[in-house]
Amino acid sequence: MAVYTDVAAEELAEFLKSYDIGELLSYKGIAEGVENSNFLLHTSKGAYILTLYEKRVAEDDLPYFLSLMAHLAERGVSCPQPAKNRSGAVYSTLAGRPAAIINFLEGMWPRRPNAAHCAGVGEALARMHLAGRDFPLFRANPLSVSGWRPLFERAADRADDVQAGLRDFIARELDYLEAHWPNDLPVGVIHADLFPDNVFFLGDKLSGLIDFPFSCNDILAYDVAICLNAWCFEPDNSFNVTKARALLNAYGRTRPLSAEEQNALPMLARGSALRFLLTRLVDFLNVPAGALVKPKDPLEYVRKLRFHQGVASVNDYGVTQAGCVA
């Protein structure tokens, strides 16, 4: 979450007249994250999140994201629900941006995830994957392997300004992944961005998943790999096998990974690391002037990528195939 587009109080109050969520009492921007402009609203009827969709989110994709949240909630996956305006639409336009209001979800995201948090997110991710099996809409992942080279081309000329040799490092890895990326693994609805700040907990109990603008149809185990990178490394960039074991085993108890998925997991983790390295690098080099956002460090994902390059099998993630195989 972040704020790229400011909204005047008068403009927001007028916008809210088309909703039945009460009168505006207060609002403030949410500075965390890097993708869209987000505001916490307090109205006479409660608390809500207002999102203005920016950058990588196409307006045509909004029905997918917003319908998916309703679909998952109907199947027992806790996630926010979009508010409909008086015309029945789940999004409209504010400050020149597509905008939606969702209900506020209780809980806090874990600043220092522990093994219990990792187990919770593993189970919730598996339940989301199962709940998405009959979701009728389809959205290809624009940030899967076919989308990485265009990102690289946007940053290649300045990559070595961030770290010497970074351009060649990315180029070699991109060539390798394009040549070896799996195309025969189970696919379905994935979240594609399930970082700790997109998962809420009450204590150690998971209370819900948020922020679905990257959700799409892609390899299910790729979503698991994204979570390994997001949840199982320590602040010093060391890999925490205990957390990985907790996440993978909790996922596997709900949706067992096939032997093929487990064999591919190191490759998928490398791809996940390259994807976030590239998007962070592009964002780091192109922060809009005046934006209330702190770009995330792309070099964090260089270090994660180097780790996965040295992984021989799923055993290096703390599990055996007997632990989470179908």
Residue range 98-126, pLDDT digits in tens: 999 999 888 999 999 999 999 999 999 99
What average pLDDT does this structure show over 34-59?
A: 86
User: Residue 148: which residues within 8 A CB-CB, separation 6 or more?
Assistant: 174, 177, 178, 274, 275, 278
pLDDT value at position 56? Answer: 66
Print burial letters for 52-77: b (CB count within 10 Å at least 16), e (below 16): bbbbbbeeebbebbbebbebbeeeeb
Tokens representing 35 are 């993708």
d(C-alpha 147, C-alpha 252), whole Å: 29
Long-range contacts of 166-172 (CB under 8 A, 24+ apart): 166/281, 166/302, 169/302, 170/274, 170/277, 170/278
pLDDT digits (tens, 9 = 90+) for 130-171: 999 999 999 999 999 999 999 999 999 999 999 999 999 999
Q: What is the pLDDT of residue 33?
A: 52
- Cα-Cα end-to-end distance for the chain: 36
Most confident range (mean pLDDT) of 242-256, 290-304, 307-321 is: 242-256
Q: pTM of the prediction? A: 0.89
Q: How confident is the model at residue 59 (pLDDT cuts 50, 70, 90)?
A: confident
Give pLDDT, residue 238: 95
- The confidence score (pLDDT) of residue 326 equals 46
User: What pLDDT, on a 0 to 100 scale, did the predictor assign at position 1?
Assistant: 41
For residue 2, give Cα distances in angstroms to 54, 57, 69: 10, 14, 21
Pinpoint the alpha helices (H) of 144-240.
145-155, 159-162, 166-180, 220-231
pLDDT of residue 290: 58
pLDDT given for residue 6 in this prediction: 82
Q: Between residues 102 and 36, which one has the greater pLDDT?
A: 102
